[in-house]
Homo-oligomer: A and B are copies of this chain.
């Protein structure tokens, strides 16, 4: 177990911190599609992602949901910290985009280490910064870009996350994540295909570099 943690985090934390993490962390495997955190959940421990990818969604009661950003190996979710520390309900939903593995840290330890290890502070702050920047990017998308561009960005990002040219999603699923409707997505995908940017198959979309 210390091996997996050292693999993912050995380069940014000093040895004594890696040891401490290994002592208290609980490793949890997850499968694609698992809902790791749902709206309204109280979070009692902090996740360190070892591998896999997790998508973070915002949901509005009436009007559906919206993909905010992805979390990948070697990162944590600052939105979770928000909840941990503030003892608030989660305002987001975390869903596994791929299979993966996560280490859960008790909050108490997390706060201990803030006073104790500079590398831990840096890590936590870096994570907050990444999250804020990703939120800004999400805002840019919904505020400044039209759906065709958002869709294309989304497809490219999905390709990066899964490290593949094939995006295995139905039009309906994409519509949910971009907070649009299936018909609109089908329409725009068709024009992307006509422009030679993608190839549409049943159940998946192929990115043409």
Contacts and interface: CB of A to CB of B under 8 A. Distances in A.
Interface of A: 58, 60, 63-64, 66, 68, 78-79, 81-82, 85-86, 91-92, 114-115, 118, 121-122, 125-126, 128-129, 131-133, 135-136, 138-140, 142-144, 179
B143 A58 contact: yes
A91 B58 contact: no
- 8 closest Cβ contacts across the A-B interface? A135-B135, A82-B129, A60-B144, A142-B143, A63-B144, A142-B142, A66-B143, A128-B128
A56 B52 CA distance: 34
Nearest to A128: B128
A125 B139 CA distance: 22
A60 B132 contact: no
Copies in the complex: 2
Given A85-B125, A86-B126, A118-B115, A58 B139 contact: yes
Contacts of A143: 58, 60, 66, 142, 179
A182 to B, nearest CB: 18
A57 to B, nearest CB: 11
B138 A139 contact: yes
A140 B86 contact: no
